[in-house]
Homo-oligomer: A and B are copies of this chain.
Amino acid sequence: MTEPSIEDKRITLEEAAQKIHDGAHIAWGGFGYQRPPEALAMELIRQKKRNLRIYTCGSEHDLDILVGAEACLEFEVAFFAIEALGLAPNLRRRTKEGKVQFEDYSNLAMALRFLGGALNVPFMPIRHMIGTNMMDKTRLRKDKAKVIDCPFTGTPIVLLPSVQADFGVICAQKADVEGNVQIFGIKGEDNEIARGSKTTIVFTEEIISNEVIRETPDLTTIPALFVDYIVEVPFGSWPMQSYGVYDYDLPHLQMYMGQCKTEEGWQEYLNDWILDVENHDGLLKKIGEKRLKELRADKRYGY
């Protein structure tokens, strides 16, 4: 049998961020504290991107630094805060300044919009959102959602416009160079984003061999057929967590929450942790091997 060549879809973090042009619409993976594309957010800031629009269910520190740096000020989103730690400080300030534009959906609504994009149908039905201001208060979209009477049952049902973003960006624990991806733990809306975006970029904590993929096809959550680029970025979700690989850096997050209450504090954080470190390797050096080791997951628990 003629050996097929294994396609190597790897690019660097810098190259990935370069592909994402000013004004791009991005479906943003990760959910809550779990596997957000933090390293990408920081690199987009270093590359001075502007006018991005992000679609996601809920994201937190990663979005807040993008808002602080004014790389992204438009969101179609369900949730934006740092959960147990409080409201997102940059978001709060930039909203008061009148700079941020939201189109508000529920989590399920956003996840279904990604599913509709993956199925390549123009809309998805949902029973939720109806009866609330999410239906009638709009900012970015003319057609945010529509209520129709179901042609089969006669009852009202909401139709949501599907999302097929220019880029889908998600973080995984393992992937091979061809783009077969294995996500462990909760999946959030990442499976749908990966299948529904025009260009899908997966950031992986670790590259594994194609052989391992073929021995465990039941663990492949995103086949390479859906993936355009693979970026190997260890600790790519720091200061948040990646199940089974490392835990969140709580003291760092608490420092962030306190310091970024003021614009001055945020500018200091921006310089210290993003602009003054040359790249992701520089960031890892700044965090330090000792701290990274402390954050590494105990394999018995996954955090």
Is the CB of A5 closer than 8 A to any CB of chain B?
no
Copies in the complex: 2
Interface flags for A173-209 (1: CB within 8 Å of B; 0: not) read: 0000000000011000000000000000000000000
Contact A123 B150 (CB under 8 A): yes
Interface flags for A218-257 (1: CB within 8 Å of B; 0: not) read: 1100000000000000000000000000000000000000
One of A88-96, A155-163, A277-285, A287-295 at the interface = A155-163
Interface flags for A122-161 (1: CB within 8 Å of B; 0: not) read: 1111110000000000000001001010111101010101
Bound CA span A151–B158, Å: 11
Bound CA span A155–B119, Å: 16
Binding site for B on A (CB under 8 A): 112, 116, 119-127, 143, 146, 148, 150-153, 155, 157, 159, 161, 184-185, 217-219
**Which residues of the other chain, B, contact A120 by a CB distance below 8 angstroms?**
127
Take A143-B152, A146-B152 as given contacts and tell me if A126 and B122 are in contact as well, using a CB distance cutoff of 8 Å: no
Contact A127 B123 (CB under 8 A): no
Contact A122 B155 (CB under 8 A): yes
**Which residues of the other chain, B, contact A184 by a CB distance below 8 angstroms?**
218
Nearest CB on B from A211, distance (A)? 14
Given contacts A121-B126, A122-B152, 8 further A-B contacts (CB under 8 A): A112-B119, A116-B125, A120-B127, A121-B157, A123-B125, A123-B152, A146-B151, A148-B151
**Which residues of the other chain, B, contact A143 by a CB distance below 8 angstroms?**
151-152
Bound CA span A272–B110, Å: 55
**Which residues of the other chain, B, contact A116 by a CB distance below 8 angstroms?**
125
Contact of A218 among B122, B127, B153, B219 (CB under 8 A): B219
Bound CA span A185–B123, Å: 31
**Which residues of the other chain, B, contact A159 by a CB distance below 8 angstroms?**
151-152
| Residue in B closest to A147 when the chains form the complex, CB atoms | B151
Nearest CB on B from A145, distance (A)? 10
| Residue in B closest to A161 when the chains form the complex, CB atoms | B152
Bound CA span A153–B112, Å: 18
